[in-house]
Amino acid sequence: MPRAPFQVLVVPFRRVGDQVEFAVLRREDMNVWQAVAGGGEVGETPQQAAVREAREELGLDRLVPLYPLQTRASIPARFFADRDSWPAGTYVVPEHSFATDLTDVEIKISHEHTDVQWLDYKGALETLRFDSNRTALGELHERLQAGDLPLSAE
């Protein structure tokens, strides 16, 4: 299916006792650490793309809670091979951010990644490569501390 001109980011977290851990994944093609990320497909909403990307990249076999975040970023369109199929004048694409609760959920990373680490907030913040990932992680961390997760998007 053709790629739509938007990107999604999904920050996985889990509760372990009184602590929260965040999953960071090492990309196979770039050897950098990031959250789940991918492009929307034509006809998908950002929420639908986030669900699909999380299922594909984390090997999920069931629905898990998905929470929309306020964090937004822009990514230069020149980084995407499908740019030529997008409307003329598309120079940047929006990145929509979400979080997903994987407490008591087993994951199996896809071929797009070579490793996964579950880290505390500080460790994840130091490990993530991209600013948009760190911003979304920071928002999620603050929301979890405040008990203020948005309503699930599922």
- Evaluate if residue 149 carries a pLDDT over 90: yes
What are the backbone angles phi and psi of residue 41, rounded to the nearest 5°? -105, 155
Average pLDDT for 2-9: 93
Average pLDDT for 99-113: 96
Structural domains of the chain ordered from first start:
3-146 (3.90.79.10)
Say what the pLDDT of residue 81 is: 87
Confidence class for position 95, pLDDT limits 50, 70, 90: very high
pTM of the model: 0.95
Residue 111 to residue 127: CA distance in whole angstroms: 20
- Evaluate if residue 150 carries a pLDDT over 90: no
Cα(first)–Cα(last) distance of the chain, in Å? 23
Q: Which has the closest alpha carbon to 35: 106, 94, 109, 145?
A: 109
18, 98, 113 from 128: Cα distances, Å: 23, 16, 14
Confidence class for position 153, pLDDT limits 50, 70, 90: low
Confidence class for position 154, pLDDT limits 50, 70, 90: low
Residue 116 exposure: Cα atoms within 13 Å on the Cβ side: 20
